[in-house]
Structure 1
Amino acid sequence: MKEKILIYGAGGLGRELLSLIRATETFEVIGFLDDSVRRGTEIKGVKVLGGEDVLHGFDGKVNVVLAFGDPIAKAIRAKRLDSRYLQYPPIVHPTAILQDPASIRLGSGCVIAAGSILTTDIEIGEHTLVNINCTIGHDSRIGRCASLMPGVNVAGEVTIGNEVLIGSGASLINRIIIGDRATVGMGSVVLQDVPAASVVVGVPARPIQRNH
């Protein structure tokens, strides 16, 4: 029997997570949660049950996955939710490849989407999204509430901090460090460390501003 799970966030990423979860043999989505979508709205056959308040109506623990692409918004939501009522299983699409699964640690609530490849000795933080067709090399560490957009290539021994956004198609050379709350623009090639709260873009990537 499949475990029941709720998706928090009924936007585009929420719909993507719905299709991802439907491809698994583990979970069944029983509803969306969203504070800005009308209760009862049906999305691809699944209803919006309401907002955060709905969680208190369940008996015992309930499985939830967060569908927020923006890392900071995701971190704020994760901090607000009462962990006494919730559990956050990692979600892995069946076509994702965990090459050496015994050496890969997946944090609670992280998502590994279709076509992604993780090699060996890798750690993914809680609520981190590894979107479609990403590759993550050996001995890399990714913090909590990060978001790697489609097609990101992370070489070996890379460290990515908390609440980091890596844009689609970006490439990170081996042994660099991306600081907390940094943003790497889509298509960028990162050849050196990126300071916390900074924004880098280009080939090679260079800073253009700092996040707050």
Structure 2
Amino acid sequence: MTQLFFSEYDQPEAARPLVIVGAGGLGREVAVLVRQLNEAGAAPGWDLRGFYDDAAPRQASIAGLPYLGTSADLNATAQPLHVALAVGGSASRRALRARLTSPLLHFPVLVHPAVALESYQQVSLGEGCIIQQGCILTTDISLGRFVLLNLGCTIGHDAVLEDFCSLMPHANVGGAAHLAAGVYLGTNATVIQGVQVGADSIVGAGAVAVRDLPGGITAVGVPARALAN
């Protein structure tokens, strides 16, 4: 009888456990992203366990997955877990990250399998970044920690997006533009080439930033102008 021996290195890697924090619409979209990554065969894959949210949903199941508890419950985990922060607002996502203090929690980068990110593009991504379907990133781009690019966003050459920036669907950032930490671009908002947007500013849906904007404002219109206090 012939016996076959397989080393541990021949065994497929176990899928990594992953939970989503945020049980709303964005959370369900991130669940779709994770499933698409698994379907694309990205090894070792994700074992999607369910959702956490500090506001309990009305139903015990979200997108076919269980509600698992609050951020405090997540901090009490006894095993290592990968965590995706599915909260669209920059300030809210930053505050949520600050509440998640367990050393057993890890925050992977999740990029839709159809988004081109080859090494020659020289794109750097910080921990916890989420990049959804249809996004285009060109070359020499830096994304900080926990940056969210929702559906169909474009990022031009030499652009910098600092920690906790949030781009809603079809937002556009031109070449060499610089978004400071916590900037939020609404749906179809545009920051043209070379423009800088200060920390925690909001560029409203459809607005076009054609000149530098200071931090801590909300700017709307074409060209984008700060709303009066």
| Change in CA separation of 1:172 and 1:50 when aligned onto 2, cut-off 3 Å | same
Please tell me whether residue 10 in structure 1 is matched to residue 23 in structure 2: yes
Q: What is the percentage of aligned positions where both structures have the same residue?
A: 38
**Distance in 1 (alpha carbons) for counterparts of 2:221 and 2:67:** 40
**Over alpha carbons, which structure has the higher Rg?**
2
**Per-residue Cα deviation, 1:110-138 (whole angstroms, up to 9, x for no partner):** 10000101111111111110011001011
| Change in CA separation of 1:118 and 1:100 when aligned onto 2, cut-off 3 Å | farther
> Which residue of 134, 138, 152 maps to 2:153?
134
1:15-164 maps to which residues of 2 (within 5 A)?
15-25=28-38, 26-37=45-56, 41-98=60-117, 100=119, 103-164=122-183
Matched residue of 2:66: which SS?
strand
Counterpart residue identity of residue 206, structure 1:
R
**Distance in 2 (alpha carbons) for counterparts of 1:57 and 1:76:** 18
2:11 is aligned to none
Compute the TM-score of the two structures, normalised by the length of structure 1: 0.93
Matched residue of 2:164: which SS?
coil
**Per-residue Cα deviation, 1:22-41 (whole angstroms, up to 9, x for no partner):** 10033231010012115971
Point out where structure 2 has 5 or more consecutive residues left out of the alignment: 1-13, 39-44
**Distance in 1 (alpha carbons) for counterparts of 2:211 and 2:51:** 40
8 Å contact kept, 2:75–2:101:
no
Matched residue of 1:138: which SS?
coil
| 184-193 or 25-34: bigger deviation | 25-34
Deviation at 1:206, TM superposition (A): 1.0
Structure 1 or 2: more strand by fraction: 1
> Which residue of 189, 197, 200 maps to 2:216?
197
Compute the TM-score of the two structures, normalised by the length of structure 2: 0.86
Deviation at 1:43, TM superposition (A): 0.8
Matched residue of 2:27: which SS?
helix
Matched residue of 1:174: which SS?
coil
